[in-house]
Amino acid sequence: MSISKVYSKIRPQPDKVSWKRLVCNNQASPKSIFITWMALKNRMVTKDRLIQWHINCDPLCFFCQNCVESVAHLFFSCSYSREIWQKILDLLKIQKTVQCFELEQQRAARLYRKANRKCRLYLMFFAEIVHSIWLLRNSLLFNGSCQPADLVFREIVYRVAVRCSEFDRKFLYF
């Protein structure tokens, strides 16, 4: 028996995580990937977590003012982020309705197994929208200002177009 086989037997095997494909080899900006990783691990400082830490605050979402702000709500359950994500799905010609964050994450992880440009773009858009929504939420919190969903959509498309390959960029022309 070789040393490497013995080492692999005694070394603890890490748990497999479903979101690995969303973070590794994604061509989105490093900031977007980091914020997406934080959201996937539910480590964002959202209002529901602040309340768990016994910090007194208004629990409602800054965007819709209807539900408690959480990672699950902020990303794709809130009407504001759902509208932007639906525009992205329409751009990619994906005929489906926006689902909750967990289901969207699972779909993105499954799609990455394919190596076509639509899947690469989907992953980039996923990371960029999570980052954008988080920045907009913080802008609304600290500055009291928020951009319209249509403008945010165009900014996300621009950021993805700048970072993707020329071959993938041709798919974005509309």
- Model confidence over 5-38: pLDDT tens digits? 888 888 887 777 777 778 888 899 999 999 999 9
Please state the pTM of the whole predicted model: 0.88
- Domain ranges (residues) in the chain: 26-42+79-172
Both tokens assigned to 36:
């997406």
pLDDT at site 171: 80
Question: What is the percent of the chain with per-residue pLDDT over 70, rounded to a whole number?
Answer: 97
* pLDDT tops 80 at residue 65: yes
pLDDT tens-digit series, residues 156-172: 999 999 999 888 888 87
pLDDT at site 174: 55
Q: Please, are residues 128 and 160 in contact by the beta-carbon 8 Å criterion?
A: yes
3-state secondary structure labels for all residues of 22-51: HHCCCCCCHHHHHHHHHHHCCCCCCHHHHH
- DSSP 3-state of 1: coil
